[in-house]
Amino acid sequence: MSTRFISRVTSVLKNSFTSKDAAVGVETTLGKLIYVPNAGVRVVAGSQGGTKGTVAGLEVEEGGGDGFHRAKFIFTNMPLTVRNTEQGGGVKIYDFADGYLMFMGGAGYVTITTTSVLADTLNASVACKWGVGTATQTTTSLTTTEQDLVPAAAFTSSATISVANAATSSVLTATTDMFPFDGTTTAKDAYFNISVDAAGDIDADATVFVNGTVLLSWINIGDYSLT
């Protein structure tokens, strides 16, 4: 397999390229066109991707580059503490790269399993919500930034200790919700959040396991330092 370049690539720096590196070539075996764009500015390879959270039971699969990007979050018994006083809790699952993010959409499909004693912590079969947002949980209804990546979805807590509830799903569909996030000064984060509707339905801090998948898609427009 070889490539014949129509214009010469003068230099390619590790993890980056500049306008002088632009070239067009043809991979001669398969006949595929290879194009290194004349960007005119230095572009850092992989700047779309961020850093996954340190919580156990979390894996992140990323796709894309310096254009459209998608991250797939896989939860396998990811622990989360549902606090009594706050009627909920959240855990950071991602730290986006610096930049102005045009968020394109988010979706999730999860089960949530109460692993603490039901009668003493999160009660059996009570109304709760989960969502993914750029801020951690502080309210009992998951609003605004607590669920601006994947909208809040209602679920019923475990009826039996360590037995998962029925799986629930949520997807961001309204185009009015697909707005840019300014992460140029401080990079945006993503939190998986849970809330409990009624104060009387949780008697002490509870522990739960989250299983399932969340997909987030975005474009990083830039961070004002393209020099």
Left, alpha or beta for 86 (phi > 0: left; psi -120 to 50: alpha)?
Answer: alpha
Structure confidence at residue 45 (pLDDT): 38
Structure confidence at residue 204 (pLDDT): 98
Comparing C-alpha atoms, which of 103, 107, 102, 93 is closest to residue 172?
107
Structure confidence at residue 49 (pLDDT): 77
Structure tokens at 90: 């959240």
Structure confidence at residue 124 (pLDDT): 98
Comparing C-alpha atoms, which of 174, 172, 222 is closest to residue 47?
222
Structure confidence at residue 174 (pLDDT): 67
- Binning the chain into helix, strand and coil, the percentages to the nearest 5 are 5, 50, 45
Rounded distance, CA 196 to CA 83, Å?
9
Rounded distance, CA 131 to CA 148, Å?
8
Structure confidence at residue 48 (pLDDT): 65
pLDDT tens digits for 181-226?
Answer: 888 888 899 999 999 999 999 999 999 999 999 999 998 887 765 5
Structure confidence at residue 17 (pLDDT): 37
Structure confidence at residue 148 (pLDDT): 92
Q: Cβ of 7: how many Cβ atoms within 10 Å?
A: 11
Structure confidence at residue 25 (pLDDT): 42
CB proximity list for 225: less than 8 A, separation 6 or greater = none
- Ordered by start, the domain boundaries in the chain are 3-44, 51-220
| 122, 114 Cβ separation under 8 angstroms | yes
Structure tokens at 102: 């045009």
3-state class (DSSP) for residue 216: strand
The secondary element (H helix, E strand) that includes residue 217 is: strand 206-220
Structure confidence at residue 101 (pLDDT): 87
Residue by residue, pLDDT tens for the chain (227 residues) are: 454 444 444 443 334 333 344 444 444 444 544 334 443 333 333 446 789 999 999 999 998 866 789 999 999 999 999 999 999 999 999 999 888 888 889 999 999 999 999 999 999 999 999 999 999 999 999 999 999 999 999 999 999 999 999 999 999 876 555 567 888 888 899 999 999 999 999 999 999 999 999 999 998 887 765 54
Rounded distance, CA 75 to CA 72, Å?
10
How far apart are the two ends of the chain, measured CA to CA in Å? 35
Rounded distance, CA 128 to CA 194, Å?
7
Structure confidence at residue 26 (pLDDT): 41
Rounded distance, CA 147 to CA 161, Å?
27
Please state which of the four CATH numbers 2.160.20, 1.10.3210, 2.60.120, 3.30.1360 is assigned to the domain occupying 51-220.
2.60.120
Comparing C-alpha atoms, which of 97, 71, 102, 108 is closest to residue 194?
108
